[in-house]
Structure 1
Amino acid sequence: MLMVTRGLGDAQPRPYPVATIGNFDGHHLGHRALLRTVVDAARRAGGTAMVLTFDPHPVKVLAPHVDLRFLTSPEEKLARLEAAGIDEVVFVEFSPSLASMSPEEFAESVLYRRLKVSEIFVGQHFAFGKGRAGRIADLEHYGKRFGFTVHPFTPVTSDGGVVSSTRIKQLIQTGRMEEAARLLGRWYAVTGDVIPGSQRGQALGWPTANLRLPAHRVVPPDGIYAARAMQDGATYDAVAYIGTRPTFGGGERLLEVNLLDQNRNLYGRPLTVAFVEHLREDRSFATAEALVEQIDQDAARARERLKRAEEVP
């Protein structure tokens, strides 16, 4: 079972800690490869596979004006770290005092004295300490002084570039869902509770489950999507809509989901929606009849696309 430690003051000595540092937002292919390496090294040594991460995210402290969006919820991140075999996640409070530590102070105070790491794996472009002044060579120097081994980790590449959370966010925000899925190793999904709606979809012959878009999550652009919806262990083909319903005068931006060829009560339980392909942009129609005709076409396209959608693209 995953152990979660909040604060360095609560960190306890562990057998031969093998650590890595990062926020691991998205749990993409690069993260998976790094975590596998950490877990394998810890198992060989009979030690503890450990992730050191920060709460709040450093950007919230250093640039609070930035609208920070994430690929995973905190709960999903911990679940995926546990599934990867990590034994302990240590949340370090990212405060102005931590941000002002020199690279040497961070290496000595956090890695050596508090966590007593034996080995640490970090990406080739890892930076640490005040102003991100510390680099891999500095960490290796401090490792020799304080008795831990530093392993630079080669980034994973795919589709002609390094796999990174930033790159995946850009793909999702421009509706390139299959490209994002290849880097994530899964379809990008969000989860929310189904809320009561206006029943307009029901009246049009296309009933939808309505979800509020989760706060602080990366959201694809408005429009229509071929999607998969998951609830209580079951998966359904679906067509999804993100937008404000401009045909009917606009309103709150919602995620609306129709289960194709299904009629199920989805209220009262979380629904997860995975986005497979952005089929078209949102737009206003002159009449409700014209909108229904377009929805029929959208549903047909979604069915065809989902026939070709592998579990992992």
Structure 2
Amino acid sequence: MQVIHISEPIDYSKIENQNIVLAMGFFDGVHQGHQAVLSEAKKQAVKSNLKLAVMTFDCYPKMFFKKIKPDDVNYLTTVEKRISLFEKYGADIVYIAHFDKNLAKLSPQDFVDKYMVGLHAKILVAGFDYTYGKREIANMQTLPQYAQNRFKVIEVSKKTMRNEKIGTTKIKRLLNEGKIEEINCLLGYKFNFDGEVVHGKARGRTLGFPTLNIKPFKQQCIPGIGVYAVKVKYDNRWYEGMASVSHNETFGDNPLTIEINVFDFDQMIYGEQVEIEWDKYLRAPIKFESVDELIEQLNEDKKVTKMYFENN
């Protein structure tokens, strides 16, 4: 699979001179709604004997239109994670478009001419709510007018679960509430992200529950405060464990941390990258009156976590 970075104005020497099926969207989370777009695009590519290309942006376009600071925007999936998911769903080419003021000022017609026709799209597939400018004039209903019969437009309908739209905004809300199992149903895979193992205060080790302290990508969405059953991937091997997203209330007022007690793991891997898969919400954080009460609860959490993985 090719990954090609483009920006405005486009350097067309980077673009392969061949017709494609083009799937478009931001695809944060690559959830089941997004997967429906990718699946339809792949079906059209196979049917037409064309390569499947996917185009996404490197940051949220709304930052420029709503004047939001980059640090105030969080993502379910990094660009790298999205790329790996695109490959899983059959993409041959991924275009990562750099969204900046030059791209933001393009008219809908210019965007279609440059980023759809210019990429040699013969079939364009996107979700029902895809926009490429102001929603009232640059939507899927107006796209055929801008296409001018140069490519076919296929609109993928809204995907729902329990009569609610499957969408990134909803998933982020549920993530903040710690509803991991519901999120995993909406995603169609286990929510996961990478993080760096950093030094903590080593309290867990003194309690008999050593932890990996995780520093995620700065703009990574993380689960809400609570204790979770998780898996950690290091050196191509998965380990079971339990994670705490908390302020370590028992020990006073502390910054929010992600700490994971990894079962059957005793390696010192500071500075290394690990992948964390979030499987189940276990309980809310508790401020214990004593360290002994905390240790008793940690033993119970470990028992429940092990039982969960045994049954799943």
Cα contact 1:30–1:164 (8 A) shared by 2? yes
- Counterpart in the other structure of 1:215: 218
Whether the 8 Å contact between 2:41 and 2:52 is mirrored in structure 1 is yes
Q: In the TM superposition, what is the alpha-carbon distance from 1:257 to its structure 2 partner?
A: 0.8
The alpha carbon displacement at 1:83 in A equals 2.2
Shift in alpha-carbon separation, 1:266–1:273, aligned structure 2, 3 A: farther
1:37-52 aligned within 5 A? 37-52=40-55
**Aligned to 1:292, what secondary structure does the other structure show?**
helix
Q: Secondary structure at the match of 2:276?
A: strand
Distance across 2 between alignment mates of 1:34 and 1:80: 13
Q: Is residue 191 of structure 1 aligned with residue 194 of structure 2?
A: yes
Gaps of 5+ in 2: none
Q: In structure 1, what is the equivalent of residue 18 of structure 2?
A: 15
Q: Which residue, out of 286, 296, 304, partners 1:301? A: 304
The answer to whether residue 137 in structure 2 is matched with residue 133 in structure 1 is: yes
Judged with a 3 Å threshold, the aligned counterparts in structure 2 of structure 1 residues 151 and 194 are, in CA distance, closer, same or farther, namely same
1:101 pairs with 2:106: yes
> Given residue 108 of structure 2, which amino acid in structure 1 is its aligned partner?
P
1:84 maps to 2:86 = no
The residue number in structure 2 matching 1:3 is 3
The Cα shift of 1:227 comes to: 1.5
Equivalent of residue 78 in structure 2, options 69, 73, 82: 73
Q: Which residue of 2 aligns with 1:263?
A: 265
Percent identity over paired residues: 26
| Contact 1:227/1:306, CA 8 A, preserved across alignment | no
**Structure 1 residue 131 displacement after superposition:** 5.3
In structure 2, C-alpha distance between the alignment counterparts of 1:23 and 1:56, rounded to whole Å: 8
Off by >4 Å, runs of 4+ in structure 1: none
Could you state the TM-score of these two structures normalised by the residue count of structure 1? 0.90
Residue aligned with 2:121, SS: coil
Shift of 1:266: 4.8
The gaps in structure 1 that reach 5 residues or longer are none
Aligned residues: 306
SS in 1 for 2:132: coil
Distance 1:5 1:201 in 2: 43
Asked if structure 2 preserves the Cα contact closer than 8 Å seen for 1:181 and 1:187, the reply is yes
Could you state the TM-score of these two structures normalised by the residue count of structure 2?
0.90
Matched position secondary structure for 2:186 = helix
The CA deviation string for residues 20-71 of structure 1, in whole angstroms up to 9 with x for no partner, is 2111111212222211221222233232211122233202222343621111
